[in-house]
Each structure stands twice: as structure tokens, then as C-alpha cells.
Amino acid sequence: MTDRSTEHLVVVTGASRGLGRAIAEQLQAAGCLVLGLSRQAPPAPAGIEQWTVDLSEPLAVAERLRAWLQGLDSGRFASVALVNNAALLTPPRPLRDADLATLSRAARVGLEAPLLLSAAFLDATRDWPADKRLLHISSGLGRRAMASQGPYCAVKAGLDHLARAQALEEALAPNGAKVVSLAPGIIDTDMQVQLRAADPSAFPDHAAFVQMKTGGRLDTPAQAAAKVIAFLRSERFGVEPVADVRG
């Protein structure tokens, strides 16, 4: 008979494309049960449950996630993790020229959704005996400001500081979760395409992003996902609440 406590559950946001999809697929291939949350839901391999949700309206999604987790057998899993990966990149331009509705959506997806989903995840699993891990996908731009990227810089810096506060809280809780906000490196995703296509007159660092592509400095989503998953599983996870896969 199989020991059910050896199962591993991972919730991944932004799982329909790019890094999030690669993370979900690699975890599923490694035998994890995966719940993917994304606005678009492509056909998912067996072992991945996919919810079509709008993370710019995160309250209902967080409530649904909490109820779903509370309905599971808590003794079933050896480990459970939430990977807050979803984000929106606003068109690269100075903040004074930004569309307010677009700014609101980016802030909700990039920071409000991780805040609410984290609260729901930690609440629903507080009494689980499983190893619990909470991973925010951050960025180097959360730690280094860039003109015309203020909204993205802000939400990623917010994730870093949220992780610091959550780590302090969970360290005081019985069987608390380990928490990390992780910069995954530079990845060749749709966001990079958007940055390279930006108007150079509105985006001073445009040439640098073009050079990253032409110079072969970008990881594929699959390469980046492998690094993120290795860190998620490692003994280093949670030693420091803010980390970078590049060391």
C-alpha cells in the first residue's frame, strides 16, 4: 500500500505560459500534484489541475483556494507549497504617462494577489503536519530601480519585504512555513519581448535588453524553472527570506 504522506502538492500562479508553465510542468513530471492558477487555461497534462481565474480580482480566488485546501486531507501530503509567480508588465514608460487602469491591474496581480493568496494558503494549512513552503517570484528590479519600470520595481520590492515580514511571523508559528522571495534570473519570456519592442525614447534601458537577447544572456523558461525548483527543494530554502538563484 502506498504511503499517502509521501505526496507533494504545489500551487502555481501564472501557470499558463513562460516561467509559471515551465515550473508547473516540471513539478508534475517529478510526481507532484499541481494546481495551476491563470487567466488563460491551456490543456494541462495529467496531474495538473488548472483553474481559470483573474488575479486582478484576487479576493474571490483567495477565498476559493482557502476553501479548496481546507477540503483536502491534511495528512495526505509530505509537503505543500505556494508559488506566487504571476505578474503583469505595464508598457515601459514614465509613471506620469501610464494608464491608471493598467497600473491598478498590475498592482493587483503582482502584489495584492500574492498577499491574499499567501494569507489563504497559510491559514488553510496552519495545522497541516506537512513541510510548508511559500515562494514569491521576485526580480532583480525589486532590488535595483529602473526608469520607466516603476510599477514592476514596486511590486517586486513589495514581494521582497512581504517575505521578510512573513518569515518573521512563520518562525514564531508551530510548524510555520518557510518563506522566500526569489529572483529567478533573466528569462526569455513575453515580458522580455515587450521590453525589446518598447519605444526607446520612453525607455532609457531599451538597448540593454536588446543586448541581453543578442548576447545570449537569457535563460529559457525551462532552464529558469529548473533552477527555481532546485532552490524550492533545497535545504537553503528559508535560510534567508530574500534570495537570488545566481547566488
Strand 33-38 with 131-137, pairing: unpaired
DSSP annotation of 219: B
Nearest to 134 by CA among 230, 246, 36, 12: 12
Nearest to 221 by CA among 171, 174, 186: 186
Domain count, the chain: 1
Burial of 85 (0-12, 13-18, 19+ CB in 10 A): buried
Q: What is the CATH number of the domain that holds 162?
A: 3.40.50.720
| Domain-located, residue 214 | no
β-strand partners of 52: 38
Going residue by residue through the chain, which has 247 residues, state the pLDDT in tens, using 9 for 90 and above: 244 567 999 999 999 889 999 999 999 999 999 999 998 866 666 668 999 999 999 999 999 999 999 999 989 999 999 999 999 989 999 999 999 999 999 999 999 999 999 999 999 999 999 999 999 999 999 999 989 999 999 999 999 999 999 999 999 999 999 999 999 998 887 777 777 777 777 677 677 776 777 888 788 999 999 999 999 999 999 999 999 997 6
**Radius of gyration (Cα) for the chain, nearest Å?**
18
| Domain-located, residue 206 | no
Amino acid symbol at 198: A
If one counts every other C-beta atom within 10 angstroms of the C-beta of residue 183, the result is 21
How far, in Å, CA of 25 to CA of 225, rounded? Answer: 9
Domain ranges, residue 60: 4-187+221-244
